[in-house]
Amino acid sequence: MHAFRAAILRFATDREPRHAAIYEQDGLLVVGANAQGRQVVLAVGPFRELRKRFPEAAVTHWPGRLIAPGFVDLHSHYPQTNVIGSPAEGLLPWLENHTFPEESRFASPDYCTEAAQFFIAELLRNGVTTALTFATSHPASVNALFTEAQKQRMRLITGLCLMDRNAPADLLNQRAPHCRVNATEQSLRDTVTLIDQWHNIDRLGYAITPRFAPSCSEAQLSGSGELAMTYPDVWIQSHVAENKAEIAWARQLFPESRSYLAIYDDFDLLRQRAIYAHCIHFDDDDRALMRDTGAAAAVCPTSNLFLGSGFFDTAGADWVGFQYGLASDVGGGTSFSPFHTMLAAYYVAREGQTKTGLSLSPQHLWWQHTVGAAQALGLAGVVGNLQPGCEADFVVLNPQATPLLARKTALAANVDELLFSMIVLGDDRLIERTHIADSKPAP
């Protein structure tokens, strides 16, 4: 058993608004092993009260620091680190001119390993402790990322990118040598092999990953839907309604479906644990379909601003009541830092909410990158919060990390002002330490 003393931020789970923060100026976080041997939060609260209850716990004291839940990144592409900051007119030329050429390099297992190591290290440096991310269409890219995440004991979900048409030939799913099975069937067999090998091993999870409807044949989408039913606790990840030209293309390829989103429903790919990136150009029927199926949106504001895709409608999502959380979308997105993503979400919501003139509160933004994203993954109470029972993934923030941060956070009169100062001014320098559950307690 170990305890950490500092200011502590967590989120209420038993009261409205559901994104209400609980802030302890002088708090204690007590961690220890659960029945499965995983390090979890045993208790959290004011130092003065809790210290008496756990006199045997060794205490690490971080004066002037803030302990907060590790961030949850709901959507990214680990093979696109090098694509960050590649300008294009819009999504489709960006894919063709920058992204596909880079993803082709992942045919080399050594390239995959180096990229996986950099990506995981960068997530942790930025305080991200749970991530759902795309690999490429090469099985070696999936193996490389799981191998590295397992070494770091990180909660990570990924999967083989399914794309059997409308991309460069070397990036499409491939047939196995000397095997008569076609490439589409092989991609589904590879998916099953990877699920068997990695899903629910340590803290790893598998996601069935059709890239987006335009890159998948009907056979590949229907095979994916069948796998999604066979493996109900496996995740699904894809893209939808990001860009107007992409939407027109998807509608042309699947004219029978009511909308772009409905294509996925028609192939049984909307359900709980299904995460769809972007979800920008929706109507109310799409929103209701998300709600009724339990699918969730990964909101990617830095990517949407960079690629000029549009603005996610948070008010519309809340009005209809479907789940969403924040995501970096590296490399369409421009930053690994959750602070940059939260600030971009603030700008985007401000743009969208002309009716009220209000944007999102700092507590709501922070919640979307922690508890909200965890809920979208079906992992509420497991990650994204620091309530008793949650896995002990947390960050230690230094509000004095830069002269401007120190000046501004010293003026904060309440928790909203403190959080907002960090959202507006923060980046990786704020993250002094990232603690992963199961790792040895920090000295």
CB atoms near residue 315 (< 10 Å): 15
> In the complex with Zn ion, which residue's Cβ is closer, 120 or 277?
277
Report the residue from 139, 310, 332, 426 that binds ligand GUN according to the rule CB under 6 A. Answer: 332
| Region 225-244 residues binding ligand GUN, contact defined as CB under 6 A | 239, 242
Distance CA 119, CA 81 (A): 7
Distance CA 359, CA 73 (A): 21
Listing DSSP states for 48-93 in one string gives: HHHHHH-TTSEEEEEEEEEEEEPEEEEEEEGGGGGGTT---SSHHH
Q: Does 224 bind ligand GUN (CB under 6 A)?
A: no
Could you tell me where the DSSP H helices lie in 106-259?
Answer: 109-125, 139-151, 183-198, 218-230, 244-253
When CB distances to Zn ion are compared, the closest residue is 277
Q: Does 277 bind Zn ion (CB under 5 A)?
A: yes
> In the complex with ligand GUN, which residue's Cβ is closer, 212 or 231?
212
Total of residues contacting ligand GUN (CB under 6 A): 11
CB atoms near residue 416 (< 10 Å): 14
Q: Residue 273's binding partner, choosing from ligand GUN, Zn ion, none, with beta-carbon cut-off 5 to 8 A by kind?
A: none
CB of 122 to ligand GUN, least distance (A): 18
> In the complex with ligand GUN, which residue's Cβ is closer, 91 or 344?
91
- Note the maximum CA span of the chain: 69
Distance CA 168, CA 146 (A): 26
> In the complex with ligand GUN, which residue's Cβ is closer, 4 or 306?
306
| Region 317-336 residues binding Zn ion, contact defined as CB under 5 A | 329
Q: Does 281 bind ligand GUN (CB under 6 A)?
A: no
> In the complex with ligand GUN, which residue's Cβ is closer, 31 or 307?
307
> In the complex with ligand GUN, which residue's Cβ is closer, 239 or 281?
239
Q: Residue 158's binding partner, choosing from ligand GUN, Zn ion, none, with beta-carbon cut-off 5 to 8 A by kind?
A: none
Q: Residue 437's binding partner, choosing from ligand GUN, Zn ion, none, with beta-carbon cut-off 5 to 8 A by kind?
A: none
115 closest CA partner among 90, 84, 75 = 84
| Region 54-83 residues binding Zn ion, contact defined as CB under 5 A | none
Contact 242, 280 (CB under 8 A): yes
Contact 73, 338 (CB under 8 A): yes
